Amino acid sequence: MITAVRTPESLAAAVGHAAAGGRLMAGGTVVMAQVNSGSLGYTEIVSLRRAGLGGITLDGPLARVGATTTLTEVEQSPDLAFLRGAMRGLASPTIRNQATVGGNLFVPQPYGDLAVCLLALDATVEVTGPDGSREVPVGVVLANGVAPGEVVTAVRLAVPAPGTWFHHKAMRRRLNSAAIVAVAAVVDTAGGVVTSARIALGGVAPRPVRAVSAESVLIGRPLESEVLERAGRAARADISPSDDSYASAWYRARVLPVHLRRAFLRQP
């Protein structure tokens, strides 16, 4: 049973309440469902709504996105226009108005669509806790979470150069559907062949994963159908999918090459 809802007006106060055992809540799209079902496992909620952690700033190609920035704000930001397609495939406008960037890092797969993008972007996560602040690669946060009492304050990323960002999410319906397979990638080419590739996958493992086997196939080769087909098959070595109400593990592995190819050929 919830006995207290704190709404701290500073980061320091939020950290204090979290360190004292409160459960952080940002948009509440996941936490409130846990409250309603009685599965939260905490008696105190610490809302980050007024902690001053929102907003998007751009410094050259480097963007800093506050943890409580909503996904609608990301979607509508001219500075993050490359993420617009990914945001429009995430949940629904109603959910995106509440859901936050920080919260997306902690939702279980096959959710975490923005987290998949942030992994492909090699984003850095800013975290503050009772012992101070630290910066952590997003992959580490996705693998280990943060310590009790720590609050994610922002993510930082480099906006990809035009033409180097790729994204595709396969889902059952247009609204409120988690990923069957999600692909996000930053790929550089020169002279018609791939010179660097960072591919992240969602929906196919307990957390967003890098498709390092697919990346190796792409390096030194053109982004053409036959190469992409091979890369997609290679990516099966990087996944450990599960069955859920959206798709079976078998189906996810089966269709992965199709969706990886669609991501790079920019096919719907």
Ligand X SMILES: Cc1cc2nc3c(=O)[nH]c(=O)nc-3n(C[C@H](O)[C@H](O)[C@H](O)COP(=O)(O)OP(=O)(O)OC[C@H]3O[C@@H](n4cnc5c(N)ncnc54)[C@H](O)[C@@H]3O)c2cc1C
Q: Tell me how far apart the alpha carbons of residues 88 and 194 are, in angstroms, rounded to a whole number.
A: 28
* Residue of 6, 15, 25, 241 interacting with ligand X (CB under 6 A): 25
* Residue of 6, 8, 22, 28 interacting with ligand X (CB under 6 A): 28
Q: Using the rule CB under 6 A, is 178 a contact of ligand X? A: yes
Distances (CA, A) of 42 to 2, 12, 56: 7, 21, 31
The minimum distance between CB 32 and ligand X, in angstroms, equals 7
Q: Using the rule CB under 6 A, is 234 a contact of ligand X? A: no
* Residue of 40, 63, 91, 120 interacting with ligand X (CB under 6 A): 91
Q: Using the rule CB under 6 A, is 65 a contact of ligand X? A: no
Which phi-psi region, left, alpha or beta, contains residue 260 (left: φ > 0; alpha: ψ -120 to 50)? alpha
* Residue of 82, 106, 166, 264 interacting with ligand X (CB under 6 A): 106
The answer to whether 59 touches 69, Cβ cutoff 8 Å, is no
Q: Using the rule CB under 6 A, is 223 a contact of ligand X? A: no
How many residues of this chain interact with ligand X, rule: CB under 6 A? 31
Q: Using the rule CB under 6 A, is 253 a contact of ligand X? A: no
Q: Using the rule CB under 6 A, is 112 a contact of ligand X? A: yes
The minimum distance between CB 158 and ligand X, in angstroms, equals 21
The length of the chain, given as a count of residues = 268
The minimum distance between CB 25 and ligand X, in angstroms, equals 4
Between 50 and 233, CB nearer to ligand X: 50
Q: Using the rule CB under 6 A, is 75 a contact of ligand X? A: no
The answer to whether 183 touches 85, Cβ cutoff 8 Å, is no
* Residue of 8, 82, 83, 113 interacting with ligand X (CB under 6 A): 113
Between 91 and 227, CB nearer to ligand X: 91
Nearest in space to 153 (alpha carbons), one of 11, 44, 6:
11
Q: Using the rule CB under 6 A, is 8 a contact of ligand X? A: no
Which phi-psi region, left, alpha or beta, contains residue 102 (left: φ > 0; alpha: ψ -120 to 50)? alpha
Q: Using the rule CB under 6 A, is 201 a contact of ligand X? A: no
Q: Using the rule CB under 6 A, is 151 a contact of ligand X? A: yes
Between 116 and 223, CB nearer to ligand X: 116
Which phi-psi region, left, alpha or beta, contains residue 220 (left: φ > 0; alpha: ψ -120 to 50)? left
Q: Using the rule CB under 6 A, is 152 a contact of ligand X? A: yes
The minimum distance between CB 105 and ligand X, in angstroms, equals 7
Sign, CA torsion 99/100/104/106? negative
Distances (CA, A) of 162 to 7, 81, 185, 259, 265: 40, 11, 13, 22, 15
Q: Which residues of 150-186 are buried (b: 16+ CB within 10 A; e: fewer)?
A: bbbbbbbbebbeeebbbbbbbbeeeeebbbbbbbbbb
Q: What are phi and psi of 19, to 5 degrees?
A: -65, -25
Binding residues (CB under 6 A) for ligand X: these are 23-31, 48, 67, 71, 90-91, 95, 98-100, 102-104, 106-107, 111-113, 146, 151-152, 176, 178
